[in-house]
Amino acid sequence: MKPDNIPNNYEKWCLEWQERFMTLNQEKLIQKIPDLGVDKDYLTISYYHRLHGIRRDTGEILCLENTNPLSIFTRLNIYTLLWYCTEHAALTGEWMPFRNLKDASPFGPAFQRTVTNVFARTFSGHIPQLEQACLSLGGTRLPHSDAGYQIDAFSCIPVQFLFWDEDEEFPAQANILFDKSATDFIHVESLVSIASEGLSLLADACGLSLKGNTFT
């Protein structure tokens, strides 16, 4: 039975997703989802370079590297990956902006406003800090842009964060790319949350505050 004093709808959704997890065939999940492992009482998965565990008996999600409470969005992103990942999902190596992904176009303007534009404003003038933050999340340097890094949100959902710093003529600009297959692994709306959480983690690693309202 669900408690009546859950503080908001996101917490309610987390409990509902936790119950959904308990209906899944865990052995099939292990075969289907890359990097999903088993460690005693948990299924394990890395999310933004941190190992998380899903309790096999209750569906509760914990960070296995520290005791800090997990954000609602981290938990929801893990649950929706487990639920929506299709049987034959596979990386394609074809990169595209969020708006070009399957079923993403209605959310494109909001993604630009609350994610991409916030990315550009937050890290304007802070390339060295951004580069160190990307490395701290296991990022790999890309040849594109002034500071471009590929970071695994999940191993099956890599994200490319591309940043061009401001100059005398133009303000800072940014872009975020996904593999074409991303919507085969997870619901398209979850990708907005994944990108927003990536930005929050990068800003925290730099000691910066996000300049604007993000999805998370």
131 in the same domain as 73 = no
**Cβ neighbours of residue 160 under 8 Å, at least 6 residues apart?**
95, 142, 144, 148, 149, 150, 151, 176, 177, 178
| Residue where a domain stops, chosen among 48, 65, 84 | 84
74 in the same domain as 18 = yes
pLDDT digits over 81-120, tens only? Answer: 999 999 999 999 999 999 999 999 999 999 999 999 999 9
Structural domains of the chain, count = 2
Domain that holds residue 50: 9-84
In three state form, how does the secondary structure of 63-108 look? ECCCCCCCCHHHHHHHHHHHHHCCCCCCCCCCEEEHHHCCCCHHHH
Q: Map tokens 């309610």 to a residue.
A: 12
Q: Does the structure show a pLDDT above 80 at 3?
A: no
| Residue where a domain stops, chosen among 23, 51, 84 | 84
Q: Is the pTM of this model over 0.75?
A: yes
The torsion angles phi and psi of 58, rounded to 5 degrees, stand at: -130, -20
Provide the pLDDT for residue 134.
98
Query: Coil, strand or helix: which one is 176?
Result: strand
123 in the same domain as 66 = no
Tell me if 121 sits within 8 A of 212, measured CB to CB.
Answer: yes
